């Protein structure tokens, strides 16, 4: 009987111990546990947020790279078009210049030629007068030749006047007839 009572007392003690543990040890332990869990949860959330931010930043970066590439391509195309245009303009300009220079050259050439011809005319005229002068002089220096010349000149004059008379006559005749 004593043993049974003692055992019951021990069961009571055990119940009290359970109560004590539940009342005084479990709550702070649970609190610490909750705090730890909260901390971990917060850390996980922060990590997830960071990961998300990283993903966003990476996407943004990729976008920026694509955009920059497009921009670069556009700039390159523009530059190529510009270059093409400039080359075209330069070519036209050069052609125009060439034409201008050619025309001016031709003009110059024509001027030169004219000038040269004029000079040549003058020179040749002078030379031929000189030569004629000398020839005439030489010829006249010889008496015979001089008289021959005079005679021939006179003959020529005669011939010329005869011809003039005939012409005059025919002119009068034709007038009278009319």
Interacting residues toward other proteins by CB under 8 A: 2-3, 5-14, 16-17, 20, 33, 36-37, 40-41, 44
Residues 149 and 139: beta-carbon distance below 8 Å? yes
Residue 40: CB minimum distance to other proteins, A:
5
Residue 74: CB minimum distance to other proteins, A:
47
Nearer to other proteins, 40 or 55 (CB): 40
DSSP-derived letter for residue 142 is S
Residue 62: CB minimum distance to other proteins, A:
28
Exposure string for 121-160, b = 16+ CB within 10 A, e = fewer = eeeeeeeeeeeeeeeeeeeeeeeeeeeeeeeeeeeeeeee
Residue 127 structure tokens: 């030379």
Residue 60: CB minimum distance to other proteins, A:
28
Residues 146 and 140: beta-carbon distance below 8 Å? yes
Q: Which residue has the tokens 């998300």?
A: 52
Residue 47: CB minimum distance to other proteins, A:
10
Nearer to other proteins, 26 or 94 (CB): 26
Nearer to other proteins, 13 or 65 (CB): 13
> From CA 51, how far away is CA 45, in angstroms rounded?
10
Nearer to other proteins, 12 or 131 (CB): 12
Nearer to other proteins, 24 or 61 (CB): 24
Residue 66 structure tokens: 């694509």
């Amino acid at each position: 009987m004593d043993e049974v009572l003692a055992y019951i007392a021990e069961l009571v003690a055990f119940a009290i111990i359970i109560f004590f543990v539940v009342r005084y040890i479990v709550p702070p332990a649970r609190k610490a546990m909750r705090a730890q869990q909260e901390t971990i949860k917060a850390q996980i959330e922060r990590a997830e947020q960071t990961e998300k931010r990283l993903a966003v930043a990476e996407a943004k970066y990729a976008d920026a790279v694509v955009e920059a590439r497009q921009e670069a391509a556009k700039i390159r195309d523009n530059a190529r078009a510009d270059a093409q245009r400039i080359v075209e303009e330069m070519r036209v300009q050069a052609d125009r210049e060439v034409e201008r220079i050619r025309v001016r050259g031709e003009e110059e050439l024509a001027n030169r030629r004219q000038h040269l011809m004029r000079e040549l005319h003058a020179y040749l005229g002078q030379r031929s007068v000189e030569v004629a002068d000398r020839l005439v002089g030489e010829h006249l220096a010889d008496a015979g030749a001089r008289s021959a010349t005079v005679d021939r000149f006179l003959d020529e004059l005669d011939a010329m006047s005869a011809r003039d008379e005939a012409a005059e006559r025919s002119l009068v005749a034709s007038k009278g007839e009319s």
